[in-house]
Amino acid sequence: MKRLDRSFYVRRIPTLTHIYDDGTRLIVDPKTASWAVVDNMAYNFFQDISIHRYKVIENPSDKIKSCLISLYRAGLVEFENKPRKFSSNLYENVEYPFVFMLLRITNYCNLDCRYCYAKNIPGKTSHQEMDELTAYKAIDLLLQSEINSVGIVFSGGEPLLGGINKIIKIQKYVLKQAKEKRKEIDTAIQTNGTLLSEDTIRILEAHNIQMSISFDILASIHDANRKKANGYDSYEVVHKAMCKVDRLMRTKRDEMRPGFIAVITKEFISNVGDISNMLVNRLWNYGWQFNIIDQIGRGRKNIKNPSAESIFSALRILLEKSLENGRLFNPIRYMLFNILMRERGYMCFRSPCGAGNAMLSIDPDGTIFPCDSFLGRKDFEIGNIHDYNKLSDILNSPVVKLLRQRQVQNIPECSKCIWQHFCCGGCPGDAYAVNGKLLSPSSICRLSQMLFPYLIRKVVEDKRILHLLRVRSERNRYSTA
């Protein structure tokens, strides 16, 4: 930025303020998620600037100049001869393309998890399997996406119950069509790990299928929530599979290294110290996602949600341990990107979200849902994959158009919230399950209100985060405190 004149005109952007316990202020423009952490001097100076007209500032001190430059770079003030750094519309000139399909190879599963989405589907039998023609049709539609890099996840139920041979046959079709269309396709499989023999692991790796394994880390928690369909415990068999994966995949390139998913329940929170220690000793080398249990699926009936405060406390402990070990995990990593970047790369933290806009979930019989959050809900069925020849027709269907209207500014509670464009309203499937309407906040609203100010302060004070994310904040927003 050019040296400021001795006399200049400035005005500020309408903002809201979060006050930390030590009195430090976090100034936020809720419409663009622009922010700055400031001390009392900077805050009082900022508040003295008018929103409606330019204020004349003559002969500013070096400290005032520095403060103004920081506020300008944060997108919170503008000068008369230098417009605001960022557009007032976070999504202006930004299009998020269709990138992803989830193929539910089978509805059948050999586990009976207490928080399962799939086993909450009314009117669906438990033994439906996707045939190859249905999978091929879905892949052909996916490859109509306007971008060159797309993704597929084989899911279920337990997809390996559909047979490894079927999955590999579909994957060969994926690779063949991708080559013909000059597209790149990343393929993954979401598995409970019970059927991962050494041969299966090697076959998946040989065909470029990345593994994502559900594993609740401690035996007591895993066996309480993820029993076999016959009532027996499953931890031992999954743990053995995990050890095989660890031995065979530890040295593989990053894009093929497996990821793990655990669910945050009350039991998880009660044992978070032991969990974090086990992760440090063995498992931080892999990608982790800690799913916050929501109100979709069987979990709504079977599991009482832990409080936002207890989840927040557990995530703080996990974050400290992960930073000590040079790792970050999801969803914290996704939240940090929303804090640091204008782009909303992760479709679940976007407004509107990616359901039906960036992804689709295909049932074994070809029924199309916007995503897994709406599985089995008749009013959110888009149609059948065999009834469509153009991806654009699916993306312009009534269901997808309805979901496109769930923008955070259209949700009454969210439209007034300081964090609206950080969390983006949460999951619409969860909001619909809890409140019976799309235009309502999700069940993690209170948690988001606690996490985002904590993470912003963490970004300012802990330089390890920017290093681990391998990004430089495009907003260049640093503390003036």
Query: What mean pLDDT is predicted for residues 222-229?
Result: 92
Rg (CA), the chain: 24
Task: Tell whether the model's pLDDT for residue 413 goes beyond 50.
Answer: yes
pLDDT of residue 22: 93
Sign of CA dihedral 406, 410, 412, 417: positive
| Cα–Cα nearest to 76, from 35, 132, 19 | 35
| Cα–Cα nearest to 101, from 391, 365, 387 | 391
Query: Could you report the per-residue pLDDT of 116-161, keeping only the tens digit for each?
Result: 877 655 555 557 899 999 999 999 999 999 999 999 999 999 999 9
CB atoms within 10 A of CB 21: 5
Query: What mean pLDDT is predicted for residues 313-341?
Result: 93
Question: Which residues partner with 372 through β-bridges?
Answer: none
Which whole-number Å values give the CA distances from 298 to 75, 411, 433, in the listed order?
44, 26, 12
Residue 47 makes CB contacts below 8 A (sequence gap 6+) with none
Residue located via tokens 């209207």: 405
| Cα–Cα nearest to 214, from 203, 206, 225 | 225
Distance (Å, whole) CA 20 – CA 14: 20
Average pLDDT, the chain: 89
Write the single-letter amino acid at 387.
D
Query: Could you report the per-residue pLDDT of 93-109, keeping only the tens digit for each?
Result: 677 899 999 999 999 99
- pLDDT grade for 281, boundaries at 50, 70 and 90: low
pLDDT of residue 176: 96
Task: Tell whether the model's pLDDT for residue 7 goes beyond 80.
Answer: no
Cβ–Cβ under 8 Å, residues 221 and 268: yes
- pLDDT grade for 480, boundaries at 50, 70 and 90: very low
Task: Tell whether the model's pLDDT for residue 3 goes beyond 50.
Answer: no
Higher pLDDT, 62 or 167: 167
Query: What mean pLDDT is predicted for residues 369-385?
Result: 93
Query: What mean pLDDT is predicted for residues 49-56?
Result: 90
pTM summary value: 0.91
Give the residue ranges of DSSP H helices in 207-278.
219-225, 235-249, 266-270, 272-278
Which whole-number Å values give the CA distances from 355 to 226, 326, 403, in the listed order?
27, 32, 7
pLDDT of residue 476: 43
DSSP 161: G
Query: What mean pLDDT is predicted for residues 364-383?
Result: 94
Helix, strand, coil in percent for the chain, rounding step 5: 40, 15, 40
pLDDT of residue 282: 67
Task: Tell whether the model's pLDDT for residue 251 goes beyond 90.
Answer: no
Percent of the residues in the chain that have a pLDDT greater than 90, as a whole number: 67
Distance (Å, whole) CA 178 – CA 172: 10
